[in-house]
Amino acid sequence: MRLPGDRLVLDQVNLTLHSGEAMLLTGPNGAGKSTLLRTLAGLRSPTRGHVERNAPIAWLGHQDALKPALSLSHNLALSAQLSSVPLARVLQALDLAHLADVPARLLSSGQKRRAAFARIMLSDAKIWLLDEPSVGLDQASIARLGAIMAEHRKQGGALVATTHVPLPLPEAQTHQLPVIAEDTTLLDAFDEDFPE
């Protein structure tokens, strides 16, 4: 796959994920982890090749997508109406029940991240695509997230997560994306104009 400027970010990627499995996408910044996840989600089309999905997908991106003036429960109201899982159970699992009536603007970054993850749990999707799900979370929240992901897998779900830090995903596959060779033409020209 090429990004603007004809920079190849993903080449010859071949991934398979079955029910109950998890995959961690790792690699340095700029290696294409988020791009690959967005492609798997159908938010970006591959330049060549294809993605086969045979189950509903839920996507957790970098943005928490919470309206600051609305309470936590109001932010999740639409997802809750469409879900077979009670909102109260999801908030309890994420240790957010006591914050249900608090405006999102007053939540910490970790609380906002857990609120965004609540939408994933409410989605009823079998495949979870999680872009840096542990950003802003403390150790207790990461452990809680691990238990939720384990239960999802136990129920036949699958997930793919990008990460820079260890996630509690036992027996997860790991796919390491390589460092992308940079086009140094501009850097060389810069060095010529501004020698040390």
Helix (H) or strand (E) holding 141: helix 139-154
pTM to 2 decimal places: 0.83
Q: State the pLDDT at residue 180.
A: 60
Q: State the pLDDT at residue 133.
A: 94
Contact 76, 64 (CB under 8 A): no
| Residue with tokens 């970790």, as numbered in its chain | 110
| Residue with tokens 């970010």, as numbered in its chain | 9
pLDDT band at 186 (very low <50, low <70, confident <90, very high): very low
Q: Which CATH architecture has domain 2-193?
A: 3-Layer(aba) Sandwich (3.40)
Residues near 89 by beta carbon (within 8 Å), at least 6 away in sequence:
none
pLDDT band at 124 (very low <50, low <70, confident <90, very high): very high
Neighbours of 19 (CB within 10 A): 13
Residue 163: CA atoms inside 13 Å, Cβ hemisphere, count?
22
Question: Per-residue pLDDT for 187 more than 60?
Answer: no
